[in-house]
């Protein structure tokens, strides 16, 4: 898990349960993206919540999740 702590004390990460984030203080958790299928069964990762692109199409949800995680690590963290 990558945890970025800014100079003002705010932290940002792609959430997982590796660390107990509650132990760091008050949390504000928000979605960075929406990974959803379209009507034909292909998957997209919409990164608009962090001013990012729409990634896809992908054949599987796991491919979309992998692309989402990579984009966030390279462009948002």
pLDDT single digits (tens) 46-77: 999 999 999 999 999 999 999 999 999 999 88
Better-predicted residue by pLDDT, 61 or 14: 61
How many Å apart are CA 77 and CA 72, to the nearest integer?
Answer: 6
Structural contact between residues 2 and 74, judged by C-beta atoms closer than 8 angstroms: no
Q: Work out the mean pLDDT of the chain and round it to a whole number.
A: 92
Domain residues of the chain, as ranges? Answer: 3-75
């Amino acid at each position: 898990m990558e945890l970025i702590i800014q100079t003002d004390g705010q932290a940002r990460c792609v959430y997982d349960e590796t660390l107990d984030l509650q132990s760091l203080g008050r949390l504000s958790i928000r979605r960075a993206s929406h990974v959803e299928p379209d009507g034909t069964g292909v998957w997209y990762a919409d990164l608009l919540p962090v001013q990012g692109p729409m990634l896809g199409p992908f054949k599987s949800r796991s491919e979309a999740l992998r692309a989402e995680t990579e984009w966030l690590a390279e462009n948002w963290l």
